[in-house]
Amino acid sequence: MATPIARRSSGPLLHPYFICLGAAPLMGALAADAMYSTSSLWQWANFAAWLIVAGLVVALLATIVLVIDFLLGRAGRISWIRFIIVAAAALLSLLNIFVHSRDAWTSVVPEGIWLSVVVTLLLLAAAFGGWRVTTLRAAPAEDRP
């Protein structure tokens, strides 16, 4: 039996890269919140808010790329536990940006810091899953060696 010259491959998943890219500023916001709570320099609160917004924009891009992964046939079934962890982190970050829009000290302390801590812990839990919220689609039987 002849072997095929090129095997069809669905390619790698793209959404884990975007989830990881969005998680970095969301976790960085915790560091900025900690700096604000110890120094009271208002620029740290602004920086935390910018980081949260940047993380949310990339989270939106990750959602779009996840849909593309499904449409191109790269993604398999959704791992609901991982999906809920990442979605909860995004929704809590949305709430966190509303908290950070307050004025002065109450923009960060105490609710902003606690939300940043919870988001960071959720994203660290998602990191152990490889930032994937889906399984890899198995190659068709005729493509397997």
**Position 7 in a domain:** no
Mean pLDDT of 76-81: 91
**pLDDT for res 142:** 56
**pLDDT for res 141:** 53
| CA 52 vs CA 30, 81, 91, 134, 144: distances in Å | 10, 23, 11, 25, 43
**pLDDT for res 61:** 97
**Position 3 in a domain:** no
Start-to-end CA span in the chain (Å): 12
Distance CA 145, CA 29 (A): 47
- Domain span at residue 122 reads 15-131
Number of domains making up the chain: 1
DSSP E strand stretches across 8-137: 75-78, 134-136
**Position 71 in a domain:** yes
**pLDDT for res 82:** 94
**Position 136 in a domain:** no
Assess whether pLDDT exceeds 60 at residue 29.
Answer: yes
Distance CA 51, CA 32 (A): 9
Lowest-confidence region among 44-58, 105-119, 123-137: 123-137
**Position 96 in a domain:** yes
**pLDDT for res 103:** 83
**Position 83 in a domain:** yes
**Position 145 in a domain:** no
